[in-house]
Structure 1
């Protein structure tokens, strides 16, 4: 598997043009806090060494730099896991610091008991280093915070450039709240139209030109399009949602306080775009292995189609995929060759309520072999090749025909911002039994907003169960 084969896939909502490191000066914060914590913990253990003996510590010898490093790094690692190096007030959560250091010293005690269960009989020897570590780390964090506040007040260090998207009438109100935080400089405002489907690209380009690493968005501007969090995160930008009301919470949201105002924050990962490439690697590996193992099934189905009716083995149909781009989706042919022409005559018999999708339980265009293939979704197998080509993913919203997309409302186009899939929440929740497209949209939105590799694997297993039960298949 080569990089070029993987990168054939068009980049969807989860991926930037190139994977990149999160924007902003977060690395300065991390290095400063790391250095401060390391110095404080070193001082704490050196003072403790003057009062107690560490001869029971197999890795620790007097004034040993390596021993000190081995002792301190696990404590810092626990603090990292507990979020004590994140932005905002989390890094000054002193109660969390006490818990983290208690846990880290408990781990050291456990290691010593396992290494020397008989010889080591002084668990209390870790009490003094723990108390000193708490005192020095909390004091160090306090000094760093006070120093930063002083430097910001006296304009000795720059503040973070931020951009605000809200109604023009709200600009002054939100600006006053943001300025209270004393660490932001507002470099621009824009209205709700900046988030419209045709303006998003220009908005991201503008933010890149302004070197913005954080953005504030009014809830009224984003309440019906929470998927945009992916878009800004893929560009390396942290998102703060300015409140009016809260209806839907994203899985990674954090409630924070900006200038005394409650705010929802969506932190950007350190390495953006990793979600897309994890999914792409998984799709490519799974699809390649699947084709190798099931090649005899493909041959058998092709022979059955040829013997049952005249016409080609495969059926190609133009579908609308990522970013509204069309592509040819491959399926085993399950209908008579003139099925597309017959559909116009059958439109009045469409069982879908809103007319966006075309569904009939007893479709006269389906062949005998086609009914069997549809019953077990075997007609979808050739779409594995669409996955290899990067036009589709294993899991995602189903790509719809141009006839269906032509009936979309504006809110439906979120489906086109991620790679379409062979199966998804819609398929494992009833498939053709769901005749309301708004319900289909809710299922697709749930998948987009809660995506993870484990969710994909879960849907794959559910798909197997649904297919074997022939649920909603016709």
Structure 2
């Protein structure tokens, strides 16, 4: 892991230097053409603060910080073209949004041409240097012994060929069953015997580390760990997992020599989640105070208009199917639930969710509260109780969840919130429930404290303007 990180950092530093040099070269070329009509170099250096992050991000997206050492020249060129096109569009868009009309078009065009040639030459040079270093250092590379079935051994060899950080000299293969030979099937590795023959192999071979397949029996891995520990040799266990559609895999040490391979499709950053909860508590306290003031002002009016309690309670579904009671100010008549059956044909949403812009069940005061979203103030009590968050996905009703398709349930994997991406895309813009699910999943996949802060800021602006969800 450390070697891989260092390699990525070194590649990023090389790319940064190449981009800066390309920009300087483009400036000199443009200056030579325009001469006295060209501005000073210092007036254009701010562009580097756009160029470097954009290009490094695109290079990372297109895989230049993973396997360049073992990519073909055609593959490198293809990825570089896509990187350059994508980065160029991002740069031009950023310049347009910042209204940078004063920037010389000749400078930008020259930079795009020079940087493409320079980055291409650099990538090919790095590839050649890595391959040359591998050939020269073959005798000094880590000597790895595989302890695995042939299929797992072939998979490890593919990883070695693909990832430069795994460069190693694989000296042979130990299999669960006894057997020796010059080559073992498709792997082409020398079969040095069974796993139980590791002590004898260590007597005759120079071994720096042993890589074992996780599919081996626990007793076999235990013997390998004991022998490697005695010799001071590194033991690694190769774990294969299917590709994750969302999220990523992680290995957790749970104690007593036990590990868990976990697939997390929701945020798992404990410190950030703790901060989110603390912010919820603070916001909940402030919100409950405002809720009390609003209740004193509108409670009697709502009771008079609706003929029922000013507080409306409704069962909702929270994180991973937890049921809770959601609180709102009652903005509809007391028989709203029964009347909803007569309004199903007027639903403006496609899917299990119900939404009607000019809902006849809403009272005059209720309409006033809804316009400023004051009807949702009691939900701050749900936030204090930990049933909801300030920012999250929309909390569905039990009837909605009963009609969910399988992929809809993912929006329940995070705590529901007072506001979220769907609310910010309201005003009748979202008519399809699938779009609601997409926005909720987008929030889950990209969650961060900064994203929450942006959503809260936009929500406050929306409330002050009186925009509806």
TM-score by length of 1: 0.50
Residue number in structure 1 paired with 2:248 = 229
The Cα shift of 1:362 comes to: 2.0
Q: Which runs of 5+ in 1 are unaligned?
A: 1-85, 100-141, 162-169, 190-211, 242-249, 251-265
Residue number in structure 1 paired with 2:396 = 400
Distance 2:442 2:374 in 1: 26
The Cα shift of 1:95 comes to: 4.0
The Cα shift of 1:344 comes to: 1.4
Residue number in structure 2 paired with 1:345 = 342
Contact 1:214 1:238 survives alignment (8 Å) = no
Distance 1:368 1:232 in 2: 56
Residue number in structure 2 paired with 1:185 = 212
CA deviations over 1:82-138 (Å, ceiling 9, x no partner): xxxx54522356847999xxxxxxxxxxxxxxxxxxxxxxxxxxxxxxxxxxxxxxx
Residue number in structure 1 paired with 2:412 = 416
* 1:362 has 2:358 as partner: yes
CA deviations over 1:40-68 (Å, ceiling 9, x no partner): xxxxxxxxxxxxxxxxxxxxxxxxxxxxx
Q: Which runs of 5+ in 2 are unaligned?
A: 15-133, 169-209, 217-235
Helix, strand or coil at the partner of 1:400: coil
The Cα shift of 1:347 comes to: 1.2
Contact 1:215 1:237 survives alignment (8 Å) = no
Seen in structure 2, the aligned counterparts of structure 1 residues 318 and 431 have a Cα distance that, compared at 3 Å, is farther
The Cα shift of 1:215 comes to: 5.7
Seen in structure 2, the aligned counterparts of structure 1 residues 406 and 423 have a Cα distance that, compared at 3 Å, is same
Seen in structure 2, the aligned counterparts of structure 1 residues 444 and 188 have a Cα distance that, compared at 3 Å, is farther
Residue number in structure 1 paired with 2:302 = 305
Distance 1:234 1:405 in 2: 35
- Greater helix fraction, Structure 1 or Structure 2: 2
Higher RCO (CA-CA < 8 Å; seq separation 6+):
1
Helix, strand or coil at the partner of 1:413: helix
Seen in structure 2, the aligned counterparts of structure 1 residues 397 and 171 have a Cα distance that, compared at 3 Å, is farther
1:27-426 → structure 2 map (5 Å cutoff): 87-92=2-7, 95=10, 150=142, 153=144, 174=155, 177-178=158-159, 181=166, 185-188=212-215, 216-219=240-243, 222-223=244-245, 226=246, 228-229=247-248, 272-292=269-289, 295-354=292-351, 356-426=352-422
Q: Whose Rg is larger?
A: 2
Distance 2:420 2:12 in 1: 42
Q: Aligned pairs, how many? A: 278
Contact 1:352 1:359 survives alignment (8 Å) = yes
Contact 1:319 1:328 survives alignment (8 Å) = yes
The Cα shift of 1:216 comes to: 4.7
CA deviations over 1:414-456 (Å, ceiling 9, x no partner): 1111001010000011254411111112211221111111111
The Cα shift of 1:238 comes to: 8.2
* 1:438 has 2:465 as partner: no
Helix, strand or coil at the partner of 1:331: strand
Q: Give the RMSD, CA atoms, in angstroms.
A: 4.2
Distance 2:253 2:333 in 1: 44
Contact 1:216 1:239 survives alignment (8 Å) = no
Distance 2:368 2:238 in 1: 53
Seen in structure 2, the aligned counterparts of structure 1 residues 397 and 94 have a Cα distance that, compared at 3 Å, is closer
Residue number in structure 1 paired with 2:449 = 453
The Cα shift of 1:186 comes to: 3.1
Contact 1:377 1:467 survives alignment (8 Å) = yes
Helix, strand or coil at the partner of 2:380: helix
